[in-house]
Amino acid sequence: MLDLPHPTPDAPTADCFALAKALSGVHFIGGRYVPARSGKTFAVVNPATGAEVARAAEGDSADVDAAVLNAAEAQKAWAKVPARKRGALVHACAAAIRTHVDELGRLIALETGKALRTESRVEANVVADVFEFFGGLGSELKGESVPFAPNVLSVTVREPLGVVGAIIPWNVPMLLMALKVAPALVAGNSVVVKSAEEAPLAVLRICEIMNRILPPGVFNMVSGFGPECGAPLVAHPKVRKVTFTGSVETGKIVAKAAAEKLVPVTLELGGKSPMIVFADCDFEKTVSGALTSMRFTRQGQSCTAASRIYVERPIFDRFVAEMKKAVDAMVMGDPLDEKTDIGTIVSEGQLEKVRAYIAEGTATPGATAHVCSAMPTDPALKKGLFIQPVIFTGLDNSSRLVREEIFGPVTVIQPFDDPETVLAQANDSEYGLAASLWTNNLKVGLDLAHRLEAGLVQINQNLVVQANLSYGGVKSSGLGKEASLEAMLEHFTHKKTIMVNMA
Ligand code: ADP
């Protein structure tokens, strides 16, 4: 295998531009930085300026094959490391990541355009938290004894699946990678991650940091495009589990390819999460909850964004006005500036998609587009992929803006008159990832929580994914759970039954 010395610093650095350059042109395979076998690279662009900040290795099936073969070899020894020891090593990785939180925050802000203070540094901290959580779960990889017959000892044991292929998107790449890698490793699997083409750098740096602690080959990372690099990973015969986060369309392609090999697959796909606001809610808290729920600080690029909000009619006008005022007060600007609340959209393609939805909503008869906040004025940002958040009123459930995942700072607020009607509207969706209810009547709230078709329902809060809470959707939002003990046991191990006849 090619083996280049690589100029990344061991110590955390605040210079994300230099670090991006140092991370250029390589995968991480078998404990080493290696370029793509083809020698090809592609541009990593800072969406706040349009400038190229790095080149990423453009992986294809040859690179994937090298990564999977390394992972398969390393997994044999890794599976024999006692589970608690594996957990301790993953825990040590969490501690190492913590020392790099600021650096990783800067790097992810640079490649995704997410604001450092409100989003990117927060993500880096949650990543450390996720590795810490799973690192403590080694001793939970337990089996059971089964009462089969008095003279037959019958037990189950949890065994790793082998090599896990993990495919991640660009919106929260470090966290979504961690939700896959941490449980997979603690359970005794090895991993090959295919990073998202828009955001390959911060995950690569985490892979390097963790490889200072883990045995080589246990955690590998390749970058590249979906069909050329992701598809061969899913199809590779030695990949025995596939875990994917991304769009519904690609999720179906991945599930079909995994089905060809009959390997299990976890899918975390899109969402169109309803937020239901009753007139008896704590008004101020709910308005500020709507800002967090809609993930405006991430320009709405979240599968749990509250992109359809239903507000009980008596407080509808006041709610829309106060929410607009609150979004107006958010500062859009350079993602690396600590004063910035809202950064950019990740890519030009994504920006065009969002603009098309806004144009369609604006052109719909009866609709009003409440355009919020202000574009940055700094000339250095004039090529940045900024867009003003838009709150729509006057659209209903028949609109594409209410039915489809926009992945942008666009939400639609509709009035409602009674719980049954709003429940039907909320459930009238292809998706079922998350939902939130805002009311002081917990009897009504709990009743609706039980009847909402969603994997996660929160009342009077709408937090992002948290370690220890099962996360995953129903309907087109996906298959399987992440982030919890159950996720590790059910999705990264299989249960073997062993029987000993002692008669
Ligand atoms: P998004 O719209 O968020 O980019 P995608 O589902 O297209 O969502 O991409 C999510 C991830 O899936 C990315 O890492 C992408 O490269 C990868 N991907 C895209 N197409 C395929 C494919 N055919 N097989 C495997 N992975 C793919």
Each residue of 180-226: pLDDT tens digit? 999 999 999 999 999 999 999 999 999 999 999 999 999 999 999 99
User: Residues 46-66: what's their mean pLDDT?
Assistant: 98
Q: How confident is the model over 477-492, as a mean pLDDT?
A: 98
Is position 1 within any domain?
Answer: no
Per-residue model confidence (pLDDT) at position 7: 84
The residues, any chain, with a CB within 8 Å of residue 86's CB and separated by 6 or more, are: 78, 138, 185, 186, 188
| 391 C-beta closer than 6 A to ligand 1 | no
Closest residue by CA, ligand 1 atom 21: 226
Q: Is the pLDDT of residue 442 over 90?
A: yes
Same domain (yes/no): 256, 299: no
What amino acid positions are annotated as catalytic residues? Answer: 268, 303
Residues 490 and 436 in one domain: no
* Helices (H), ranges, 44-148: 61-80, 83-99, 101-112, 121-135
Q: Is the CB of 229 under 6 A from ligand 1?
A: no
Would the CB of 58 count as within 6 Å of ligand 1? Answer: no
Dihedral in degrees, nearest 10, Cα atoms 469, 475, 479, 483: -10
Query: Measuring from atom 16 of ligand 1, which residue has the nearest CA?
Result: 226
Ligand 1, pocket-test mutation among 64, 167, 221, most atoms within 8 A of CB? 167
Rounded to whole angstroms, the Cα distance separating 132 from 98 reads 10
- According to DSSP, residue 493 is labeled E
Q: If you write DSSP's letter for every residue of 432-475 in order, what string do you get? A: ESEEEEE-S-HHHHHHHHHHS-SSEEEES------TTS-B--EE
The C-alpha atoms of residue 270 and residue 412 are separated, in whole angstroms, by 17
Instruction: Tell me how many domains the chain contains.
Output: 2
Atom of ligand 1 nearest to the CA of 196: 14
Report how far apart, in Å, the C-alpha atoms of 163 and of each of 193, 239, 262, 351 are: 11, 5, 14, 36
Average pLDDT over residues 445-462: 98
End-to-end CA distance of the chain: give it in Å, rounded.
54
Confidence of residue 1 (pLDDT cuts 50, 70, 90): very low
- Which residue CA neighbors atom 26 of ligand 1 most closely? 230
For strands 431-432 and 474-475, give the pairing.
antiparallel
Tokens of 284: 């101020």
Mean pLDDT value across residues 289-298: 97
Report which protein residue has its CA nearest ligand 1's atom 14: 196
**125 shares a domain with 81:** yes
Nearest partner of 164 among 33, 229, 72, 97, judged by Cα? 72
Residue 11 lies in a domain: no
Which mutation among 192, 222, 250 tests ligand 1's pocket best, with the greatest number of atoms within 8 A of CB? 250
Same domain membership, residue 310 and residue 191: no
Q: By three-state DSSP, how is residue 489 classified? A: helix
- CA-nearest of 221, 197, 204 to 71 is 221
Whole-number average pLDDT of the chain? 97
196 in the same domain as 70: yes
Check whether residue 122 and residue 194 sit in a common domain. yes
**400 in a domain, yes or no?**
yes
**Token pair recorded at residue 4:** 């280049």
Q: How far is the CA of 181 from the centre of ligand 1 (A)?
A: 18
* List of residues 6+ apart from 112 with CB closer than 8 A: 47, 120, 170, 171, 173, 198, 199, 335, 343, 346
Query: What distance in angstroms lies between residue 125's CA and the mean position of ligand 1's atoms?
Result: 25
pLDDT confidence tier of residue 114, bands split at 50, 70 and 90? very high
Domain span including residue 127: 16-269+477-497
Q: Does position 6 have pLDDT exceeding 90, yes or no?
A: no
Looking from the CA of residue 197, the nearest atom of ligand 1 is 16
DSSP per position, 380-443: GGTTS-----EEEES--TTSHHHHS---SSEEEEEEES-HHHHHHHHH-SSEESEEEEE-S-HH
323 plus 348 within the same structural domain: yes
* Same domain for 334 and 264: no
- Sequence letter at residue 75: Q
How does DSSP assign 267-278, residue by residue?
EE-----EEEE-
365-414 pLDDT per residue, tens: 999 999 999 999 999 999 999 999 999 999 999 999 999 999 999 999 99
Q: 359 pLDDT band (50/70/90 cuts)?
A: very high
Place of tokens 């329902």: 457
pLDDT exceeds 90 at position 85: yes
Residue 286 has what pLDDT? 98
Residue 301 sits in the same domain as residue 227: no
- Whether 10 maps to a domain, the answer reads no
Give residue-wise pLDDT tens across range 329-344. 999 999 999 999 999 9
Residue 5: the pLDDT is 61
Give the model's pLDDT for residue 416.
Answer: 98
Q: Look at residue 346 and tell me if it is in a domain.
A: yes
Let me know: does 174 contact 202? Beta carbons within 8 Å. Answer: yes
Tokens 């998350």: give the residue.
434
Confidence class for position 4, pLDDT limits 50, 70, 90: low
What is the reported pLDDT for 2? 39
Q: Are residues 295 and 253 in the same domain?
A: no
What b/e sequence results for 295-332 when a residue is b if at least 16 CB atoms lie within 10 Å of its CB, and e otherwise?
bbbbbbbbbbbbbbbbbbeebbeebbebbbebbeebeb
- The CATH number assigned to the domain holding 389 equals 3.40.309.10
Q: What are phi and psi of 351, to 5 degrees?
A: -60, -40
Could you write out the DSSP letters of every residue in 152-173?
EEEEEEEEE-SEEEEE--SSSH
Same domain flag for 299 and 325: yes
